[in-house]
Amino acid sequence: MVKFLDIKNTQPQENDKYLLDTNVIAFLFNSYNVDVAAVRSKFNTYGDFLDKALKANAEIYISSLNLSEFINMIVRREYNIEARKEENKSVKYDFKTHFRQSEAYKEVMEHIKSVIPSILNTCQKIDDNFSCIDIHGMIKTLENDFNDEYFAYLSSQENLKLVTDDGDFKSINLPIDIITGNRNLLN
């Protein structure tokens, strides 16, 4: 039921509607403490696609769950970096007790606050109609990360093409198009 489409061979059209997965948002908008060399090719691949989609006047969407995942991903990564520092190994470095009181936390939050407007200027917010989603039906067949299932379900309900690099979508069983540069999904 899922159709995987190679991002390099996909030409966005004016009436196309895309939902960006959080990993794509991170490739495109997060520059805080990342290994630039490691993500450069993904930034180029997904950035080129986003540029083409915007030039074609396609609609690019994100949900509140995307923003939540994006923020939590960056904050947790920074917490893990801080927790591994030598000066923090002697104490049980706790997220709420130590990290959220630290300068590192304040800095990462300032970065996040500076990035969110760029995301919202590029993407349209989508109302997911949570009250109408059949969560019970969705969890009956839950085999993946809940958020991945949720994004796939939202894409199916709203007739959106999902743009992702996440290999977990290989086992999604919904009638959606997935645009990806992930070779494991395309093979």
Query: Using an 8 Å Cβ cutoff, are 154 and 146 in contact?
Result: no
Q: Which domain holds residue 41?
A: 3-186
DSSP type of residue 85: S
Element housing 98 (H / E): none
Here the tokens at position 62 are 């994100």
Query: Using an 8 Å Cβ cutoff, are 152 and 169 in contact?
Result: yes
Residue 22 Cα distances to 3, 56, 161, 183, angstroms? 20, 22, 14, 18
DSSP type of residue 155: H
Here the tokens at position 113 are 């606050």
**What is the domain-level CATH number for residue 15?**
3.40.50.1010
Give the model confidence (pLDDT) of 58-85 as tens digits: 999 999 999 999 999 999 999 988 888 8
Answer whether residue 123 shows pLDDT above 80. yes
Number of domains in the chain: 1
Give the model confidence (pLDDT) of 83-107 as tens digits: 888 888 778 888 998 999 999 999 9
- Strands (DSSP E) contained in 23-101 are 59-62
**30 or 180, greater pLDDT:** 180
Give pLDDT, residue 36.
65
Answer whether residue 39 shows pLDDT above 70. yes
What does the alpha-carbon distance between residue 50 and residue 27 come to, in Å, rounded to a whole number?
A: 12
Q: Using a cut of 0.85, tell me whether the model's pTM lies above it.
A: yes
Q: What is the mean pLDDT of the chain?
A: 90
Give the model confidence (pLDDT) of 11-25 as tens digits: 999 999 999 999 999
Residues in the chain: 187
Closest CA to 28 of 119, 163, 161: 119
Query: Using an 8 Å Cβ cutoff, are 33 and 77 in contact?
Result: yes
Here the tokens at position 162 are 């999902």
Residue 136 Cα distances to 58, 66, 131, 145, 158, angstroms? 32, 21, 12, 15, 19
